[in-house]
Amino acid sequence: MSGLRHVAPEAAVPSLDGQGCHAGADQMAAAARAAGNTELLNRYAKDYPQGPHDKPQSMCPAFGSLRVGLRMRRVATVLSGSACCVYGLTFVSHFYGARRSVGYVPFNSESLVTGKLFEDIRDAVHELADPARYDAVVVTNLCVPTASGVPLRLLPKEINGVRIVGIDVPGFGVPTHAEAKDVLAGAMLDYARAEVAAGPVAAPTTGRSDRPAVALLGEMFPADPMMIGAMLAPMGLAAGPVVPCRAWRELYAALDCKVVAAIHPFYTAAVRSFEAAGRSVVGSAPVGYEGTMDWLSSVGQAYDVTAEKIAAAQNAFGASIRAALAANPIRGRITLSGYEGSELLVARLLIESGAEVPYVGTACARSAWSEADRAWLAARGVAVKFRASLEDDCAAMAGFAPDLAIGTTPVVQKAKELGIPALYFTNLISARPLMGPAGAGSLAQVITAAMGNKSRMAGMKAFFEGVGKDDTSGIWEGAPNLRPDFRAAHQKKLDKLARAAKAEEMI
């Protein structure tokens, strides 16, 4: 029990239990600070600066780190959080084909307040730590345990040779599920770096490349790392592991790469770990003609490759990228938004394919690694919005009246209401190659087909015109039974409750 933090009941635990997203982010953050997590929240505020939306506007951020853990071989994942959060997270994981159990340590107000939850987590970790089955166990504190200061840092670092990695991924500190991937990737890299410093580590099962390699930061379409490898070959370089990794040993191989390509620009903690290992980091990605030429040059220079070899790589692929772009033109106006971190790259590709892209919104924050893409887009008159809210994305779509809106689920839904053809960024755009010659022609078909649906969308809109919307939607025998007086009375009640809550805060 020594060292175990007991959370005082006045640390808002009873009022937080069972709340989460529904509690105010400020209230949760204040509780977390009171419970000893000030340093953690300050680090997250620096790593993941918040923008107009300070709460998740899409799925729970912890899904990002959960998915990273679930995709790794010989890694067990355990969640500690409210049952409703864990239900949602496991549901989405299995929807996306996790094919693996997600561990859960349940709690109630009492076990949270007395510190028994920490003991339960420790017992669960001991039970799971079987070296025959696992290289690592990842334990994640969701909102309520983070707000209550459940001290995962006090878990043993290793049990029977199985590494134990504890992370806090609260919705009030980590704004997007993309950045939650970084929380786990960074924690794993830090762990692996300490192992490397302590002595020899295992080589990757796939063996080591005989050429200097470039580690790739960001989840990509499976063919993209191969394409990148082919483009690096004329410079005498190879594609290294993709971080987040699929196996623990790949972390060592990634740390071994002298140069890291931040293909997705939001991996702040991972970059910090690479830089602590003395690695240099290159931003942007090899998308389209100009993007690929610039990226090959940056990577070559970071590896001190001769200008001749850089030119050889550029010449080997420049012509085929140009040919693929010319053979697969995209005509029309497109607004684009998403939360994957690759939005700016996709916008570059669309513009080089001939599309007009007036707006790009990304839920991720501005960073040094997306700066070249931002500048390239801004120079072409594109409004780039970092930490874009759903409202920003919808306003841009309504304002620019595009031929196609690419966005998240609620943006696509709104587009359909307006009769605008739309595509889901995550399912339909992220699931395609984007890099080099393979990426240059990959988007045209799906985008042109979607744009071609404009008249069908208009037909559907006309067909459903007049069926009402919101609380008057559907088929009514008479006029919809609207009661503005009831609504006004209810609003008064809500206002009164809000005033009472405000007054309580000030006491």
Q: Under the rule (CB under 6 A), what is the footprint of ligand SF4?
A: 20-21, 56, 60, 62, 81-82, 85, 88, 142-143, 171
Shortest CB 171 distance to ligand SF4, Å: 3
Cβ atoms of 213 and 375 closer than 8 Å: no
Shortest CB 180 distance to ligand SF4, Å: 10
Sign for the pseudo-dihedral over CA of 75, 80, 81, 84? positive
Shortest CB 489 distance to ligand SF4, Å: 31
Shortest CB 86 distance to ligand SF4, Å: 8
Q: Is 18 left (phi over 0), alpha (psi -120 to 50) or beta?
A: left
The nearer residue to ligand SF4, 118 or 191, going by C-beta atoms, is 118
**Structure tokens, 125:** 């970790």
CA dist 336 and 140 (Å) reads 32
The nearer residue to ligand SF4, 88 or 318, going by C-beta atoms, is 88
Shortest CB 11 distance to ligand SF4, Å: 17
Shortest CB 142 distance to ligand SF4, Å: 4
The nearer residue to ligand SF4, 81 or 186, going by C-beta atoms, is 81
CA dist 105 and 79 (Å) reads 6
Chain position carrying tokens 């959370």: 7
Distant-in-sequence, close-in-space partners of 366: CB < 8 Å, separation ≥ 6? 374, 386, 387
The nearer residue to ligand SF4, 81 or 265, going by C-beta atoms, is 81
The arrangement of strands across the sheet holding 162-168 comes to 103-104, 75-80, 136-141, 162-168, 158-159
Shortest CB 60 distance to ligand SF4, Å: 3
The nearer residue to ligand SF4, 82 or 430, going by C-beta atoms, is 82
Burial 200-230 (b: 16+ CB within 10 A, else e): ebeebeeeebeebbbbbbbbbbebbbebbbb
The single-letter DSSP state of residue 7 is: P
DSSP string, 317-333: HHHHHHHHHHHS---SE
The nearer residue to ligand SF4, 65 or 370, going by C-beta atoms, is 65
The nearer residue to ligand SF4, 86 or 269, going by C-beta atoms, is 86
The nearer residue to ligand SF4, 117 or 434, going by C-beta atoms, is 117
The nearer residue to ligand SF4, 62 or 270, going by C-beta atoms, is 62
Alpha-carbon distances of 395 from 62, 230, 334, 400, rounded to whole Å: 28, 41, 14, 8
Of the candidates 447, 441, 436, 442, the one whose C-alpha atom is nearest the C-alpha of residue 291 is 436
CA dist 430 and 469 (Å) reads 32
Shortest CB 156 distance to ligand SF4, Å: 25
Of the candidates 43, 121, 41, 48, the one whose C-alpha atom is nearest the C-alpha of residue 81 is 121
**Structure tokens, 397:** 């779509």
Shortest CB 85 distance to ligand SF4, Å: 3
Using DSSP bridges, classify how beta strands 158-159 and 162-168 pair: parallel, antiparallel or unpaired.
antiparallel
Shortest CB 143 distance to ligand SF4, Å: 3
The nearer residue to ligand SF4, 105 or 143, going by C-beta atoms, is 143
